[in-house]
Chain A
Amino acid sequence: MQSTKENIRIGFYVCHCGHNIAAMVDCADVAKYVKGLPNVVLSRDYKYMCSDPGQELIQKDIREYKLNRVVVASCSPLLHEHTFRSATAAGGLNPYYFHMVNIREHDSWVHTDRGEATVKAKALAHAAIDRVAFHKALETKTVKINPDALVVGGGIAGIHAAMTLANAGKKVYLVEREPSIGGHMAKFDKTFPTLDCAACILTPKMSEVGAHPNITLWSYSEVAQVDGYVGNYKVRVKRKPRYISEERCIGCMDCISACVFKEPKFEDEFNEGLGKRKPVYIPFPQATPQIVVIDPNVCLNFKRTKGPDGTPIVSDRCKKTCVEACGDKNAIDFTQKEEIKEIEVGTIIVATGFKTFDSKRVPAYGYGIYKNVYTALEIERLVNASGPTGGEVILREGKNPDGSPKHPKSIGIIHCVGSRDKKTNVWCSRVCCMYSMKLAHLLKEHTGAEVYNFYIDIRAPGKGYEEFYNKLLDEGVHFIRGRVGEVTDWAMTPEEEGKLVIRVEDTLAGYVRRIPVDMVVLSSGLEPQADAQDVRRLFNMSCGTEGFFLERHPKLAPVNTFTDGIFIAGACQGPRDIPDTVAQAGAAAAEALVLIDKGFVEQEPNTAFILDEECSGCKSCIPLCPYSAILYDETRKKAHINEALCKGCGTCVAACPSGSIVQNLFEDEQIFSEIQGVLAYD
């Protein structure tokens, strides 16, 4: 199996990586061992190969020792392969004459015996030395980048990313599932720690998005299919029918007041079910786009009764008063159907956000059992001036003796509901401490009630956050350290009658307390969206164990995914607050702009090709290719691979019965020599 006519001259470098490798692997011994292997001209160990002097060392050696192959044993190729390929190229060699050995992530960091780890390093190095002899000079292919971009999700992350790209002069499609953009932030009353009103800072951005000439906003729409590759994605977007013509609706909302339902009577999703809306509605006053929606589940026009001959007909209870009110604008269209739009984009930013933890999963806290137990998001709507009560904090249950609505006089806020808990979610949701304190401030301000916070730890790591905590202490908000055991309506004393009692071990005081309150607020944690797994598959991304989208590298590529040209921003990657989300959205937009403005991207030349003279034309490979990259030439009775479509998985190579398909960088003899190499050293 040994090649060749060429005189192979390999330079080998083993990196200490400070103590990261050297502490567990005897680098000098590895270098000494490799020195004795065939074709090795030079073998060195060096403290930091990825440093400038390390890279210069490679370049110098290539020239001085006339090296024609380079092997570096250091960290994962996923981290530094590019660095060393560039160094090899700078030394005047084709970069694909380089091969990398992973002796950090796969060796020194995971083993505890220095002798065994050194043996493993030698075996892996031996394999690379054997393999690299078969490496060939390859050319990188360049792929053009379509300058248009797609942003998925219209929360603050998506809005900011879309605005950044659009302001840079790029055409952006912004797709949002709900009838309006705004996401969770639009529901918030104030934002911590500055207490500026969420709507005041968000809605100007929303209307900018709606009016921006470079942004095509598709609300009430979902991405249905994604094909293609970096720079050239083909996306199918499903536009759900809102039964209103977006072109003709001017947002006058005359139809809403004209609806046969004189009073709103259906659950209002935007207000977390605390308010009511009509079948024809606009989610909230500042909704963008300002276009009404008709809910076919409750609109009478979609109810069918049996006509005289038994065929279903439209109920005569629907008077179509909305159509009448719309008049010659003619925007209402009950026949609207789901529509599929096809677009081509070069880059995609996924900013699909989070969902809040379902507090019913912790039944001991009584959500859904006691009416006066609320989620934090419900309180956001309750204290909001445009909320269902106009900002008046009214209890769901209980009236004053005179029949007027009751305001809470004491409120308990329970932190970490569905966070930092092995029974539900183990992670810290990062924002709950801060939003709990914000709500404590707002509730105290609105009602003058005594407010108790029940916390495990106060986590306030952000600009002005700790100061906000101190401010709350000064305001007289109570903080009780301890995880709440239960919320109950079982009174043990007269003053507990008619109240909700929070039972908690006060871990600072060292005893179990019972605190009677009128209102309980559950600070529910952040979770991945319910359909995060489907979305992940749609965009060919990965998820971490907790279900949030996985970044390419937690430190060095925090907005990149494993699929080139697809970026993530905001809470779909993990719990984060608004400042971090906006920063990340800007980063994602900048990464997309790098590709767009460069105009092309270099692709790994690991594609497959067919050795024409060997191909028997059996067609085994053709159905295996998921990209339809293999064609059959009927006249010559041979298969042919379209390199532009090949993505380099190598499935066809492994299947070819005559061994006539070759995958660059993963040729059979390269892999066989690697197998031989890893087993050569015992």
Chain B
Amino acid sequence: MTKEWRPRIVAFFCNWCTYTAADLAGVSRMKYASNVRVIRLMCSGRVDPQFVLDALTRGADGVLIGGCHPGDCHYAEGNYKMLRRFQLLKRLLRDMGIEEERVRLEWISAAEGDKVKAVINEMTDQLLKVGPLGLPQRFEEWDKEVTRLEEEIRGGDAAGAGCACAAKLQKPAAASKSEVAHV
């Protein structure tokens, strides 16, 4: 992971502008970094913040959202809805200690194949500098820490008396991964 690590980017592109722009980049044979995986949605307004969090918890190092330019949305204003959500999401991610470079919203019109290339390359470079996010690994460590705590409590307590307490602790530890994944 250390020597060959390449950032993994999950991208959500709207069907009408950014996905088409990515098609145009292909037709124009522009070359860009291969570590982006595009998921097609009809509109950037469909991007649920949960998708972004889910991608990060499953091992993405960055998430890119692409929509039509303001005023150009195929559905009139879905991109504005995304913009609002994105502002809130950014605050949430900052509070969680996730670097700002990891989640990016870009307006890319159907004619801007070169912008697809530029944004993906730039984001890849930035993520290479920031390094891996590794949330799944962190979850494992957190789980281990909880287990260690649990053992400490068990060890510190009089034998037998901590049983009920440990059973209670067990639950959140096991559930933490899936819970965060689906918040």
Contacts and interface: CB of A to CB of B under 8 A. Distances in A.
A102 interface: yes
Contact of B78 (A123, A649, A678): A649
A287 to B, nearest CB: 36
B109 A110 contact: no
Interface in B35-90: 35, 37-43, 45-51, 54-55, 58-60, 71-72, 74-78, 81, 85
A245 interface: no
B73 to A, nearest CB: 8
Given A109-B29, A675-B39, A626 B16 contact: no
Given A78-B19, A120-B34, A654-B45, A626 B76 contact: yes
B123 interface: no
A124 B37 contact: yes
11 contacts: A105-B26, A110-B31, A112-B31, A120-B34, A123-B37, A542-B109, A650-B43, A651-B78, A663-B42, A675-B58, A679-B58
B41 A666 contact: yes
A116 interface: yes
Contacts of A123: 37
Interface of A: 76-79, 102, 104-107, 109-113, 116-117, 119-120, 123-124, 127, 537, 540, 542-545, 550, 562-563, 606, 624, 626-627, 647-651, 653-655, 663, 666, 668, 671-672, 674-676, 678-679, 682
Contact of A545 (B77, B112, B117): B112
A550 B111 contact: yes
A120 B20 contact: no
A523 B45 CA distance: 46
B37 to A, nearest CB: 4
A110 B81 CA distance: 31
B58 A668 contact: no
Contacts of B71: 537
A562 B59 CA distance: 35
B58 A676 contact: yes
B22 to A, nearest CB: 6
Contacts of A111: 31-32, 34
A123 B54 CA distance: 17
A177 to B, nearest CB: 22
Given A545-B112, A672-B51, A678-B37, 9 more contacts: A106-B38, A110-B34, A113-B34, A550-B111, A563-B74, A626-B78, A627-B76, A651-B45, A651-B81
Interface of B: 8, 10, 15-17, 19-20, 22-23, 25-27, 29-32, 34-35, 37-43, 45-51, 54-55, 58-60, 71-72, 74-78, 81, 85, 109-112, 117
B46 A672 contact: no
Contacts of A78: 15, 19-20, 23
A103 to B, nearest CB: 10
Nearest to A671: B51
Contacts of B20: 78, 542, 562
Given A550-B110, A651-B43, A666-B41, A675 B26 contact: no
B27 A105 contact: yes
A76, A648, A668 — which one has the most chain B CB atoms within 10 A of its CB?
A76
A543 B34 contact: no
B34 A649 contact: no
A381 B85 CA distance: 57
B8 A679 contact: yes
Contacts of B42: 606, 648-650, 663, 666
Contacts of B78: 626, 649-651
A651 B112 CA distance: 24
B72 A537 contact: yes
A274 B173 CA distance: 85
A648 B49 CA distance: 19
A552 to B, nearest CB: 9
A102 B27 CA distance: 12
A650 B52 CA distance: 16
Contacts of B60: 675, 679
Given A123-B37, A666-B41, A653 B111 contact: no
B48 to A, nearest CB: 4
A117 B81 contact: no
A542 B34 contact: no
Nearest to B32: A110
Given A76-B26, A106-B22, A649-B75, A678 B34 contact: no
A104 B75 contact: no
Nearest to A105: B26
Contacts of A675: 10, 39, 51, 54-55, 58, 60
Contacts of A106: 22-23, 26, 38
Contacts of B40: 77, 102
A674 B39 contact: yes
The 7 lowest CB-CB distance pairs between A and B, nearest first, are A105-B26, A650-B46, A651-B45, A649-B75, A678-B37, A626-B76, A649-B43
Nearest to A542: B110
Given A117-B34, A651-B81, A654-B85, A105 B48 contact: no
Contact of A653 (B8, B30, B48, B110): B48
Nearest to B17: A542
Contacts of A104: 26
Contact of A666 (B27, B46, B76): B46
Interface centre among B30, B35, B76, B85 (most CB of A within 10 A): B76
Contacts of B22: 105-106
Contacts of A647: 75
A542 B54 CA distance: 32
B174 to A, nearest CB: 17
B41 A671 contact: yes
A679 B39 CA distance: 12
B76 A120 contact: no
Given A105-B26, A542-B110, A626 B77 contact: yes
Contacts of A666: 41-42, 46
Contacts of B16: 542, 562
A675 B16 CA distance: 21
B119 to A, nearest CB: 13
Contact of B37 (A77, A127, A544): A127
A119 B20 CA distance: 23
A425 to B, nearest CB: 15
A679 B23 contact: no
Given A76-B23, A106-B38, A550-B110, A654 B54 contact: no
Contacts of B32: 110-111
B106 to A, nearest CB: 16
Contacts of A663: 42, 46
Contacts of B77: 626
Contacts of A627: 76
B159 to A, nearest CB: 40
Given A78-B20, A671-B51, A562 B34 contact: no
B88 to A, nearest CB: 12
